[in-house]
């Protein structure tokens, strides 16, 4: 499931304190950085170069950019952030922690795995998520191609194919109805999960056939997915397997921030908790994109990054004004000590 690191020219980390460090170089992080850079904020994006959608050939469901390869979207995004003075640094975050405030203003230190560090006034966490697949031999090798999870991201491309739903949780029941919209040849592999009589009746009404024998492995032929082998030795031909993954926000290096997290129902996943515009319970830290909205597609993640960036800029503007007022009052007092 791991994607190869996408290498590109990396900017240098500034020695001076910056307004915002964005942790994560996907749609949410880059769009947040774009909003901040266009507001003349000094911003640094720390990008691990391992986007969630790296295995996909194209991104879908986002008007104008539909069908664009994910690497091309990120390349354009990095270029646009840089055009407004933002910096993009390729690296892994080893730690992110609050630092001593300066004249009442917050500070954070972000340290990379190679030992470099940068100080920021505010943080935007846009680390995305990790799809946790069932531990079924052969499944991960076809992830993002013949093994898919989202009918809106991949559905049109697999329409009319023989599709198998590999059940993982109660979410798989609705998954089946969505993929039934795309094909007349749909099998539901219960894979140890239970189906009540009402669900069986609904599946029968839509001609969704049920396979109750447990799945043993994914079978491929000539490098392509051919089907599933069951524990009794039966081979079931399928061209596509749809699976509802467990969605896990990426938290590496962020323990020091003590950001609150919460679990989704039915063991669907775990995310960073957030409020309006991605604000968290930790002052000075925002989250955006799949790290907090686990089902957001690229467009929604980009929009969330823009909203968070605008919110951060607004609060920084207030902080700048408070500091300027305090400095002006201090200067007036010094000039007129008896006043």
This prediction has a pTM of 0.93
Q: Are 122 and 96 in contact (CB under 8 A)?
A: no
Residue 338's pLDDT is what? 62
Tens-place pLDDT, residues 36-81: 999 999 999 999 998 888 778 888 888 888 989 989 999 999 999 9
Q: What does the mean pLDDT of the chain come to? A: 94
CA distance 289 to 47: 14
Tens-place pLDDT, residues 237-289: 999 999 999 999 999 999 999 999 999 888 889 999 999 999 999 999 999 99
CA distance 48 to 69: 19
Q: What is the band of 339 on the pLDDT scale with cuts at 50, 70, 90?
A: low
265 vs 169, 210, 213, 271, CA distance in Å? 10, 25, 26, 12
Residue percentage of the chain with pLDDT more than 90: 83
- Render 52-92 in DSSP notation, one character per residue: TTTT-S-B-SSTTTTTB-HHHHHHHHHHHHHHTT-EEEE--
Residues 6+ apart with CB under 8 A from 325: none
CA distance 22 to 142: 31
Report the 10 Å Cβ neighbour count for 194.
8
Give the sign of the dihedral formed by CA 221, CA 223, CA 228, CA 233: positive
Tens-place pLDDT, residues 283-314: 999 999 999 999 999 999 999 999 999 999 99
Beta bridge partners of 310: none
Check whether 2 has a pLDDT greater than 60.
no
Residue 140's pLDDT is what? 94
């Amino acid at each position: 499931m791991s994607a190869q690191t996408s290498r590109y020219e990396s900017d240098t980390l500034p020695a001076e304190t910056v307004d915002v460090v964005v942790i994560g170089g996907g749609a949410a992080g880059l769009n947040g950085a774009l909003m901040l850079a266009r507001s003349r904020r000094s911003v640094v994006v720390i990008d691990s170069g391992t986007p969630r959608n790296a295995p996909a050939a194209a991104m879908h469901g986002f008007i104008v950019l539909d069908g664009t390869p994910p690497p091309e979207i990120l390349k354009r995004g990095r270029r646009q952030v840089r055009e407004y003075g933002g910096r993009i640094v390729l690296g892994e975050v080893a730690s992110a922690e609050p630092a001593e405030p300066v004249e009442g203003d917050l500070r954070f230190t972000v340290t990379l795995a190679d030992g470099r560090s940068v100080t920021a006034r505010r943080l935007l966490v846009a680390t995305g998520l990790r799809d946790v697949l069932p531990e079924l031999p052969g499944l991960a090798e076809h992830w993002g191609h013949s093994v898919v999870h989202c009918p809106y991201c991949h559905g049109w491309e697999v329409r009319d194919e023989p599709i198998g739903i590999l059940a993982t949780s109660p979410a798989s029941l609705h998954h089946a109805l969505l993929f039934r919209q795309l094909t007349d040849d749909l099998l539901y592999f219960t894979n140890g999960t239970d189906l009540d009589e009402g669900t069986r009746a609904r599946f029968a009404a839509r001609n969704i056939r049920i396979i109750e024998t447990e799945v043993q492995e994914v079978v491929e032929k000539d490098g392509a997915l051919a089907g599933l082998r069951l524990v009794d030795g039966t081979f079931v031909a399928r061209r596509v397997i749809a699976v509802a993954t467990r969605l896990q926000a990426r938290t590496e290096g962020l323990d020091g921030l003590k950001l609150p997290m919460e679990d989704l129902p039915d063991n669907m996943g775990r995310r960073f908790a957030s409020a309006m515009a991605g604000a968290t319970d930790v002052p000075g830290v925002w989250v955006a994109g799949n790290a907090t909205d686990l089902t957001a597609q690229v467009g929604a993640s980009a929009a969330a990054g823009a909203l968070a960036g605008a919110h951060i800029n607004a609060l920084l503007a207030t902080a700048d004004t408070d500091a300027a007022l305090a400095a002006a009052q201090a200067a007036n007092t010094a000039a007129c000590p008896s006043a």
